[in-house]
Amino acid sequence: MEESRRDFLKKTGCCALGMASLATQMHHFGTISAFAQKAIDEGRPAGGENYRALVMLYLDGGNDSNNMFIPVHNDSQVSNYAAYDAARGGVFGLALSQTQLQNTNFNVPRLGNLTYAMHPSLGPAATGAINNGIYELYGQGKLAIVANVGTLVRPLSKGSTYNSTPKPYQIGSHSDQKAQHQTSVSNTQVFTGWGGRISDKLTAVHNPTGLVPMITSIAGAQLFTAGQTTLPLAIADSNTNLNAVLNPQGFGTTPTGANLARRDAFNALRAQDLGFNYIEAASHVTDLAMNANAALQVTQDVTVTFPNTGIGRQLRQVARLIKERTDLNVNRQIFYVQIGGFDSHTGELNQHVNLYSQIGQAMRAFYDEMVVQGVSNDVTLFTLSEFGRTFNPAGTGTNVGSDHGWGSHMMVMGGAVAGGDVYGSKRPNGTGDYFPTLLMGNNPAAFDDADTGANGRGRWIPTTSVDQYAAVLAKWFGLPQDAATLNAVFPNLQYFPGTFSQLNFLP
């Protein structure tokens, strides 16, 4: 018997309702149940372990680190102050004077004890200083510099193999270079960050009963924090107390009656209609927030005075969470904080005074707080930025700035850091130990400038890839070092031999 279309349609049932009924039992991605499933899949921890945390300080916009660390020596073999001063346009360009740099000098053992200097705002001369900044920490061996870090697909040197070596896509694009720093994958777009992938691997091992995710961002959703099975906590800075940071208003502290009924229904609705991806994703984020909110009903604050700046408040919030770590049942944590404003196409000199003062002051306060909390050896803060900037200035006079470059210098801070030195300046082909060579364009000795020709502007070819830098941090954090794990978290690391022996700024 042939059936009518009406009967036919009726028999197929309503797919939407059918899907919903299945999906209410289990979310289909990014869920607590998935979280627990992963924990079971990957085994439980041995238990009883120490604490470790990584803090990423992201310098958004592309930091001109050419003016963060500056050669002040006059060694004729190595790029020296004269080369810096000449190329950065003298005192009317971007160059800082020897006088400005005289109070923040430091020696670099790995570069023949030559003398360099930090931007003065990283020291006690910072605007609005409430501490001595991070310059002192270098001398105390608690701060290391990793030179000329950037995105790479394979080791890259100027010369005959330069053109044939695969390179990152869209060097010079903010969004793409930021993504590549945060994913550590520079040859193709991927959807998880290296922080997220570490969290995927280690959450079940180290935080099996954690009440909050392994990763917390104080700067919103970031690719760095996205894992395949884990989502980050994203909360506001220390202007909001932990107990209010995820607390929806309106239910009252101990809801009763209609408020209780409303809160229960508010929670119940999030388990419904999950067959629709966007509903599921929104509900999942809200679930995560409500679960964390229950765990964060504490008042916890820091001892040390933090600067009341955006980055100061973010790091203060991180410090509060670290202080609360035991009650949150977490043995491993990753934090993301960010400061913007580094895209200094113009007005760079004034911007740097402001920005470096903020980060120097906030980092120091954070370090001191970690000392007070007794975890300074267990917490490592590091910087990343999507690119450095052209050594050759853009514009002139009071408006002078710089354009998008490539590699830039990073900082690593903490008690576990083998500080007081500069790492990573050796080129992949084994030559050099420069900082980098501060020569540009068609100068025959301009080994580190990706630009060629008379108009070369000094965009440094990175001597250390983000993957290498990140892998050293991850190793210290406890990422298993078997090839399968390393390839999963840092797919291109395998192409960079000698990473851990050369970049030994952490054990």
- Choose which of 78, 95, 96, 233 interacts with other proteins (CB under 8 A): 233
Minimum CB distance to other proteins smaller for 227 or for 424: 227
Minimum CB distance to other proteins smaller for 394 or for 471: 394
Output the CA torsion 76→81→86→87 (10° steps). 100
Q: How far from 157 is each of 167, 328, 385, 469, 490, CA to CA, in Å?
A: 11, 47, 21, 18, 21
* Cα three-residue angle 474-477-483, rounded to 5 degrees: 45
Tell me the one-letter amino acid at 70.
I
Tell me how many residues contact other proteins (CB under 8 A).
105
Can you say whether residue 82 is alpha, beta or left, with left for phi > 0 and alpha for psi between -120 and 50 degrees?
Answer: alpha
Taking CB under 8 A as the rule, does residue 273 contact other proteins?
A: yes
The residue range among 101-109, 116-124, 157-165, 188-196 that interacts with other proteins, by the rule CB under 8 A, is 188-196
Taking CB under 8 A as the rule, does residue 266 contact other proteins?
A: yes
Binding-residue pattern over the window 297 to 336 for other proteins, x denoting contact by CB under 8 A: ----------------------------------------
Asked if omega into 436 is within 30° of 0 (cis), the reply is: yes
Give the span between the Cα atoms of 332 and 330, in whole angstroms.
6
- Choose which of 45, 395, 432, 480 interacts with other proteins (CB under 8 A): 395
The residue range among 262-270, 298-306, 327-335, 411-419 that interacts with other proteins, by the rule CB under 8 A, is 262-270
SS3 (DSSP) at 388? coil
The residue range among 131-139, 275-283, 368-376, 471-479 that interacts with other proteins, by the rule CB under 8 A, is 275-283
Residue 350 phi, psi (nearest 5): -65, -40
Output the CA torsion 483→487→489→491 (10° steps). 150
Give the span between the Cα atoms of 43 and 45, in whole angstroms.
7
- Choose which of 297, 308, 396, 481 interacts with other proteins (CB under 8 A): 396
The residue range among 116-124, 358-366, 400-408, 417-425 that interacts with other proteins, by the rule CB under 8 A, is 400-408
- Choose which of 145, 152, 231, 461 interacts with other proteins (CB under 8 A): 231
- Choose which of 57, 114, 288, 506 interacts with other proteins (CB under 8 A): 288
Taking CB under 8 A as the rule, does residue 27 contact other proteins?
A: yes
Binding-residue pattern over the window 58 to 77 for other proteins, x denoting contact by CB under 8 A: --x-----------------
Query: Could you tell me the two tokens for 6?
Result: 């009406």
Residues numbered 120-179 forming contacts with other proteins, rule: CB under 8 A: 169-176
Taking CB under 8 A as the rule, does residue 236 contact other proteins?
A: yes
Give the span between the Cα atoms of 268 and 343, in whole angstroms.
45
The residue range among 126-134, 259-267, 365-373, 379-387 that interacts with other proteins, by the rule CB under 8 A, is 259-267
Residues numbered 78-117 forming contacts with other proteins, rule: CB under 8 A: none
Nearest distance in Å: CB 187, other proteins: 8
Taking CB under 8 A as the rule, does residue 19 contact other proteins?
A: yes
What do you get for the CA distance between the two ends of the chain, in Å? 77
Nearest distance in Å: CB 327, other proteins: 18
The residue range among 290-298, 421-429, 464-472, 479-487 that interacts with other proteins, by the rule CB under 8 A, is 290-298
The residue range among 279-287, 324-332, 353-361, 370-378 that interacts with other proteins, by the rule CB under 8 A, is 279-287
Taking CB under 8 A as the rule, does residue 269 contact other proteins?
A: yes
Cα–Cα nearest to 330, from 218, 214, 233: 214
Give the span between the Cα atoms of 146 and 129, in whole angstroms.
25
Q: Which residues contact 183 (CB under 8 A, 6 or more apart)?
A: 190, 192, 193, 194, 223, 224
Give the span between the Cα atoms of 145 and 383, in whole angstroms.
10
Nearest distance in Å: CB 418, other proteins: 34
Extended strands (E) in 355-503 = 379-385, 408-413, 422-423, 464-465
Minimum CB distance to other proteins smaller for 161 or for 442: 442
Tally of residues, the chain: 507
- Choose which of 32, 86, 91, 282 interacts with other proteins (CB under 8 A): 282
